[in-house]
Amino acid sequence: MTIKKILIANRGEIALRIMRSAREMGIATVAVYSEADRSSPHVRYADESVCIGPPPSSQSYLDMKKVIEAAWKTKSDAIHPGYGFLSENPVFSKEVKRAGLIFIGPDAAAMEMMGSKLSAKTAAKKFNIPLVPGSDGAINSLSDAIDVAEQIEYPLLIKASAGGGGKGMRIVNKKEELEESITRAMSESQSAFGDPSVFIERYVASPRHIEVQIIADSHGNVVHLFERECSIQRRHQKVIEEAPSSIISPELRNKMGQCAVQVAKLCNYINAGTVEFLLDENLNFYFLEMNTRLQVEHPVTEMITGLDLVKEQIRIAEGKKLSFSQNDLSINGHSIEVRVYAEDPQNNFLPDTGKLHTYLRPQGNGVRVDDGFEQGMTIPVYYDPLISKLIVHGKNRKEAISKMLRAIEDYVISGVKTTLPFCSFVLKHEAFTGGSFDTHFVQDYFKPDMLIASGGENMAALFATIQFELHKKPDNGVERNGVSEEITPWRRNRV
């Protein structure tokens, strides 16, 4: 089966990223867009485009019927869902197939099994995958909870089976809190997810979040593409990701990789997926869940393996065999990604959407920018405020860090506040450079006033912004040249 035309059921940077790979393969691309994205780069970059409705996602990017109809109308062969939106919806995977199209991703059964944390854990247990000690299956009553709590130590963590990304979690510090916590967790889970099932685990106090990329073809071949370290996050939103992890030995990498491959095999997984683990202080690892999509942070894996994950996904969807085996793969250098959000790190990371007055990307050897905007464009309020992903590749971690700091300084964005200065703060922190951090890094070390610069650099940026505002040209849509030259000499984003 050869794919000749792909519809990309997504927007922004990931839509563009998928289209680039498709084009390199000689495959035509179709963009879908909401009314808010009419003039977005992903629409112009595609060979064809279809408007699928008003700005709210529920009426456009999340509307399966409209997306599938757009694929029919354009005679597309396949749909790539990207991440977010419909990417992990088993009904969508099924409906795409039923419509006679190829879904570039796993099938509904694998998504369903991994979509429920409980069924994922139950399946993993059968195959002796290491799990955090906890309840076998759902907790349905207080007495169930008490029985489980007797066997594992406090503090405990109650998790919603239908939850994910930290939603529906509750720490229980002592026996006296158990009754109220269980009752609340079940009713919250019911109202948030329509499913009251919760389970209990021992609370791992200082974990690192490590995930393993896997890729599986439809002929039973599964390999892992090493790990990504994703411990630097803020309220379950990842901020900085890197590959490889600085604390994982080749032996541990091998063990976790094998384990991830087993998880993929036990759900007959096909396509690219990610197996998430917690790593405790003693380097014990525990399977948490599997993400059945291409992830935001996939580029760091591409940088260290030399693979193009989207091309691999497309080849797998065409029914081709993987062109490499585990032994063909090795890690080359070190890669770091920072997520550039239109958020104000000095004001509790409140989204700061609006117009990108100045937008100048960093360049140079080993620097990659995956973005979906251009200078003069407005970041819509309807979607995730991600402006771009800045990715670097160096020969080792130290070089990658200095390259990233340089790239952040070279990145000039005005008009909206961004998380760049915050990323710079993290990259310079000795807990980060020394590799001794866990998922509590931001909570432990960051206070908003740490970003107020001491010297003149920030004054220069402020002056430039004032100057920009004074000389601003009338707003006539896309402003390509404008006054931006006036602020380029200043280095911004420093802390």
Q: What is the largest CA-CA distance in the chain?
A: 70
Residue 44: active-site member? no
Answer yes or no: are the C-beta atoms of 368 and 391 closer than 8 Å.
Answer: yes
Rounded CA-CA distance 254/242 in Å is 18
Does position 288 bind ligand MV4 by CB under 6 A? yes
**Cβ 86 to ligand MV4, closest distance in Å?**
21
In whole angstroms, how far apart are CA 146 and each of 152, 177, 180, 181, 214?
10, 11, 12, 12, 37
Binding mask 229-268 for ligand MV4 (x = CB under 6 A): ----x--x--------------------------------
What's the rounded Cα separation, in Å, for the pair 26 and 18? 13
**Shortest Å, Cβ 114 to ligand MV4:** 12
Q: Which of 53, 84, 196, 207 binds ligand MV4 (CB under 6 A)?
A: 207
The site map against ligand MV4 for 307-346 (x = CB under 6 A) is ----------------------------------------
Our CB check for ligand MV4 shows the closer of 67 and 182 to be 182
- Residue 291 lies near ligand MV4 (rule: CB under 6 A): no
Of 209, 228, 334, 393, the one binding ligand MV4 (CB under 6 A) is 209
Nearer CB in complex with ligand MV4: 205/350: 205
Exactly one of 278, 307, 464, 495 binds ligand MV4 (CB under 6 A); that residue is 278
In terms of CB distance, is 284 or 326 closer to ligand MV4? 284
Indicate the pairing of strand 5-8 with strand 28-34.
Answer: parallel
CA 474 to centroid of chain Cα atoms: 37
Q: In whole angstroms, what is the distance from residue 192 CA to residue 163 CA?
A: 9
- Does residue 206 bind ligand MV4 (CB under 6 A)? no
Is 210 a binding residue for ligand MV4 by CB under 6 A? The answer is no
Strands 358-360 and 156-164, bridge-based pairing? unpaired
- CB-based burial label for 354 (10 Å; 0-12, 13-18, 19+): middle
Q: Which of 100, 166, 319, 448 binds ligand MV4 (CB under 6 A)?
A: 166
Sign of CA dihedral 120, 126, 128, 131: positive
4 binds ligand MV4, rule: CB under 6 A: no
Nearest CB to ligand MV4, comparing residues 24 and 281:
281
Give me the residue label for tokens 């190829």.
102
Stretch of 5-13, 195-203, 315-323, 333-341 lying at the interface with ligand MV4 (CB under 6 A): 195-203
Residue 148 binds ligand MV4, judged by CB under 6 A: no
Q: Which of 170, 234, 253, 293 is catalytic?
A: 293
Task: Give me the residues paired with residue 103 across strands.
Answer: 79
Please say whether the dihedral angle defined by the alpha carbons of residues 465, 467, 470 and 474, taken in this order, is positive or negative. Answer: negative
User: What Rg value do the Cα atoms of the chain yield, rounded?
Assistant: 23
Q: Which of 203, 226, 285, 490 binds ligand MV4 (CB under 6 A)?
A: 203
Q: Which of 387, 325, 323 is CA-nearest to residue 355?
A: 387
Q: Does 204 bind ligand MV4 (CB under 6 A)?
A: yes
**245 contacts 190 by C-beta, under 8 angstroms:** no
Part of the chain binding ligand MV4 (CB under 6 A), chosen from 197-205, 296-304, 366-374, 474-482: 197-205
| Cα 453 to Cα 459: distance, rounded to the nearest angstrom | 9
Q: Does 132 bind ligand MV4 (CB under 6 A)?
A: yes
- Residues near ligand MV4 (CB under 6 A), total: 16
Which of 415, 475, 371, 412 shows the shortest CA–CA distance to 41?
371
| Shortest reach from residue 39's CB to ligand MV4, in Å | 36
| Closest separation in Å from C-beta 180 to ligand MV4 | 20
Cβ 367 to ligand MV4 shortest distance, Å: 27
- Please report how close the Cβ of residue 372 comes to ligand MV4 at its closest, in angstroms: 25
| Residue placing its CB nearer to ligand MV4 in the complex, 12 or 207 | 207
Q: Closest distance between ligand MV4 and the C-beta of residue 364, in Å?
A: 31
* 157 lies in the binding site for ligand MV4 (CB under 6 A): yes
129, amino acid identity? I
Compute CA 58 distance to the chain's CA centroid, rounded to the nearest angstrom. 21
- The answer to whether residues 235 and 202 touch, using CB atoms and an 8 Å cutoff, is no
Chain positions 424 to 443 lying near ligand MV4, rule: CB under 6 A, are 439
Q: Which is nearer to ligand MV4, 85 or 286 (CB)?
A: 286
| Host H or E run for residue 110 | helix 108-115
Long-range Cβ contacts of 136-144 (<8 Å, 24+ apart): 137/199, 138/197, 138/198, 138/199, 139/182, 139/186, 139/197, 139/198, 139/199, 139/200, 140/197, 142/178, 142/179, 142/182, 142/183
CA 138 to chain centre: 28
For the bound state, the minimum distance from the C-beta of residue 38 to ligand MV4, rounded and expressed in Å, comes to 36
Name the one range near ligand MV4 by CB under 6 A: 59-67, 199-207, 400-408, 415-423. Answer: 199-207
Name the segment binding ligand MV4 (CB under 6 A); options: 200-208, 239-247, 294-302, 409-417: 200-208
Binding residues (CB under 6 A) for ligand MV4: these are 132, 157, 165-166, 201-204, 207, 209, 233, 236, 278, 288-289, 439
For the annotated catalytic residues, the residue numbers are 293
